[in-house]
Amino acid sequence: MRGTPRSGCPINATVEALGDQWSLLVVRDIMFGGRRHFRELLAGSEEGIASNILADRLKRLVAGGLLTRDDARRGQRATYSLTDQAIDLVPVFAHLGAWGTRHRPTTERLRVRAELLEAGGPDLWAAYMAELRHVHLGTPLPENSGPTVTERLAQAYRQAHPDG
């Protein structure tokens, strides 16, 4: 997440903004795991991110405009929130997850959300982005007559992973 991109290519600009695999996974865990504090992100990492790498990626993501960090007082936990830029990545994550389920070995409990996102398509993504904007940016939620996308994703995960 450098100041000047290597080129004007949109794909390069995106790759530079996201940084690396750890940055993507941190955004994923905030976006889909609801983890918003350093310790939650560290303890909940399936991939086992080291604390120094997590601290560095959080700083980079804040500096790059993908996350905000509240001004926690001494002794309090800082809360990280997605920015609108990060929330706009929902379709990207949906496509990455769909590609991964088709072309890489995965486990049922970890692919179930990707399958739900792929099956739901753009309408589901838009609804989820509205929910994320409500949680992270404080925007009002549109009228909804049923379970939220967050509830549907959590239910799918619980059904695939009943022991925890």
pLDDT at 160: 78
Question: Which segments of the chain belong to CATH 1.10.10.10?
Answer: 10-82
pLDDT at position 164 is 57
Q: Is 161 left (phi over 0), alpha (psi -120 to 50) or beta?
A: beta
What CATH number was assigned to the domain covering residues 10-82? Answer: 1.10.10.10
The pLDDT of residue 144 is 77
Tell me how many degrees the CA angle 105-106-111 measures, rounded to the nearest 5. Answer: 145
Residue-by-residue DSSP string for 117-157: HHHHHHHHHHHHHHHHHHHHH-PPPPP-SS--HHHHHHHHH
Instruction: List, as one string, the DSSP characters of the chain.
Output: --SS-SSS-HHHHHHHHH-SHHHHHHHHHHHHH---SHHHHHHT-TT---HHHHHHHHHHHHHTTSEEE--PPTTS---EEE-HHHHTTHHHHHHHHHHHHHHS---HHHHHHHHHHHHHHHHHHHHHHHHHHHHHH-PPPPP-SS--HHHHHHHHHHHH-TT-
- pLDDT tens for each residue of 136-162: 999 998 887 789 999 998 888 888 777
pLDDT in tens, 94-139: 999 999 999 999 988 788 989 999 999 999 999 999 999 999 999 9
Top-confidence residue, 2 or 135: 135
Query: What would the pLDDT profile of 30-83 be if each residue is shown by its tens digit?
Result: 999 999 999 999 999 889 999 999 999 999 999 999 999 998 788 789 999 999
**Cα–Cα distance measured from residue 68 to residue 80, given in angstroms and rounded to the nearest whole number:** 6
CB 52 within 8 A of CB 38: no
pTM: 0.88
